[in-house]
Chains A and B, each alone.
Chain A
Amino acid sequence: MQRSDSFRIVISKDIMSVDAKTVDRLAELARLEFSDEEKKEIQGDLNRILELIDKMSEVDTDGVEPLIYMTDEVASLREDIVKQQITQEEALKNAPDKDSDYIRVPKVLDK
């Protein structure tokens, strides 16, 4: 299976619409897969949504700082103290596959 080791996605800036190749790259980055039919649908949806989103470009934002933090208050921090909040047994409780001590995963390394 084709996969990228990098999280960079380089798409030509001239094409402001999503093509089939871009859908493949996005799916790979998002760790999703789609059937050919679904891909076509997603491509159409994304392009329609981007058309709607383009409304933003009508607004002049020169010199406007991006709004990142929603509160004026300084984020409150708590003391960095080690506390046991969940036990190993609890941590394993929701794992889809486990043995008595560990979460089990399919084989990761090929010999």
Chain B
Amino acid sequence: MSKIDAFSNSREALLNSDISAVELVNHFIERIEKHAELNVFLEVFGESALAKAKEIDEKLSKGEEIGRLAGMVISIKDNICYKGHKISASSHILEGFESLFSSTVVERLLAEDAIIIGRTNCDEFAMGSSNENSYFGNVKNPHNTKTTPGGSSGGASASVAAGLCHLSLGSDTGGSIRQPASFTGTIGLKPTYGRVSRHGLIAYASSFDQFGPISNSIEDIALVMEIMAGGDEYDSTCSKSDVPSYSDLLKDKKGKKRIAYLDSHLNHEGLDPEVKKRTEEIIDGLRSEGHVVEECKFDLLEQLIPVYQVLTTAEASSNLARYDGIHFGYRSDKATDLYTTYVKSRSEGFGKEVKRRIMLGTYVLSEGYYDAYFSKAQKVRRLVKERTEAILKDYDFIISPSTPHAAFELGSQVEDPIKMYLEDIFTVQANLTGQPAISLPLAESAGMPVGVQLMGKDFNEAELLQFSAELLHNYHLKKDLA
């Protein structure tokens, strides 16, 4: 059955009647049950997944046309709305909550006959870099169960790495798709801000958040992207610009590229020497293939996390004001009047990291500090964007490690929020500027996978995916799990 662990094979098997969609779903449900100790899935949508599978089987038996994603089994992060299904953002405060509508991405995937297999564990409200901030316990990295699968989309990355689905949908606010992809040897894409509708995503920081796919296959990522992306009347920030056929363009003839690497990134003191060496090896390799790879100065690296912290916590403090214990979710039984309904429900319902960020966000937005923190951060954000865009005017891509090191041990950093924030040092830039970025499994450290990141030009996912396919072809370090 292992053949169907790749979508291309499962689709072929489906079309040749070697397997039914129902058998396919049962295969993955069995795998999920077998790997229950990884704590990847908060819930398996067995009933609706099998219903969808039956629908596909019926279409096939009647000779009707099936959708482009028929045969693809997808998991969704627990912050993506799917009508009639529970969703909690891995938080106690959304206990028992059921989505009343589906996110635009889920609707578009279902319309192409994708099978949504279940919702995956993540850091509470997508705040974290290790999946240890989940109310439902941490996820384990399938490559080494003592280590984190990354965060916040840790369940998403682990679900792909352990072969529990073909592709997983996550969200990326500061690196929440790319850092877990780096730690689990998978491919993770954060599209350009505004490329994919955010309608139906539980908001963390609205000017940063983007949906994106994690998979072992760049072809699957390209296909899913061309189906998910594009204008949506329910998200006013979503671009109406045309969506190219990413999967067709993957096969296009490739030219020589101009690639930049940033001095501050490769000389970063926290960078694992093995990761640095491998990145330099790839840079040399690219040069010998005829690409131009040059060093660029970037003097704002130390400002990236501070700007990110100020702006995302500010946005989070407003976004999370809606959890009031009144209309939906958790209400404390100690609530005796309006004020205690708010305070008790929120204090009991939110976890430690979420409360820390709400407090910081409230502080930076408060009178007397607004200019010094919030407004200042918005100004530095503009400088970061301008500097990055200037580099991407001269170069097609910026290459760097996705993370300074491989997955760290569970429990080793939970007591140190600052250290945890710095995990995102190489990924936050693309969220501050809006540009697309992808993590590719091209490096390793002490046998554990580490990603190499490519950042591309605004709305040029086509070229980014195309060159990613080339890099994967030439430099992929395959780390197959037993």
Binding site for B on A (CB under 8 A): 1, 3, 8-13, 16, 18, 22-23, 26-27, 29-34, 42, 45-46, 48-49, 52-59, 61, 64-68, 70-71, 73, 75-78, 85-86, 90-91, 93-97, 103, 105-108
Contacts and interface: CB of A to CB of B under 8 A. Distances in A.
Contact of B303 (A29, A55, A65, A106): A55
A94 B360 contact: no
B341 A106 contact: yes
Interface of chain B, main secondary structure: helix
A56 B380 contact: yes
Given A10-B367, A52-B421, A71-B237, A61 B379 contact: yes
Contacts of B127: none
A98 to B, nearest CB: 10
A34 B348 CA distance: 10
A97 B359 CA distance: 28
B303 A96 contact: no
Contacts of B375: 66
Nearest to A77: B236
B100 A32 contact: no
A56 B310 contact: yes
A53 B359 contact: no
B231 A76 contact: yes
Given A45-B417, A56-B303, A96-B330, 5 more contacts: A11-B366, A32-B343, A58-B303, A73-B239, A96-B329
B338 interface: yes
Contacts of B381: 66-67
Given A8-B367, A53-B373, A67 B385 contact: yes
B193 A70 contact: yes
Contacts of B325: 96
Given A32-B358, A66-B379, A59 B328 contact: no
A26 B100 contact: no
Nearest to B305: A52
A106 B337 contact: yes
Contact of B347 (A34, A97, A108): A34
B368 interface: yes
21 contacts: A22-B363, A26-B359, A29-B362, A30-B317, A30-B346, A30-B358, A31-B339, A42-B359, A46-B356, A48-B418, A56-B377, A58-B303, A64-B380, A64-B383, A71-B193, A75-B236, A78-B233, A95-B328, A96-B326, A105-B326, A106-B340
Interface of B: 96-98, 100-101, 193-194, 207, 231, 233, 236-241, 300, 302-303, 305-307, 309-310, 317, 321, 324-331, 335-344, 346-347, 350, 355-356, 358-360, 362-363, 366-369, 372-373, 375-383, 385, 417-418, 421, 434
A92 to B, nearest CB: 10
A53 B309 contact: yes
B382 A46 contact: no
Given A52-B305, A64-B383, A66-B382, A9 B366 contact: yes
Nearest to B308: A53
Contacts of A45: 356, 417
Nearest to A28: B343
Nearest to A85: B101
A54 B373 CA distance: 9
A64 B326 contact: no
A59 B367 contact: no
Contacts of A90: 100
Nearest to B433: A70
Given A94-B327, A96-B328, A55 B237 contact: no
Contact of A71 (B98, B239, B300): B239
Given A55-B302, A59-B303, A64-B383, A32 B347 contact: yes
B64 to A, nearest CB: 30
Given A13-B368, A94-B97, A94-B98, A59 B300 contact: yes
Contacts of A73: 194, 239-241
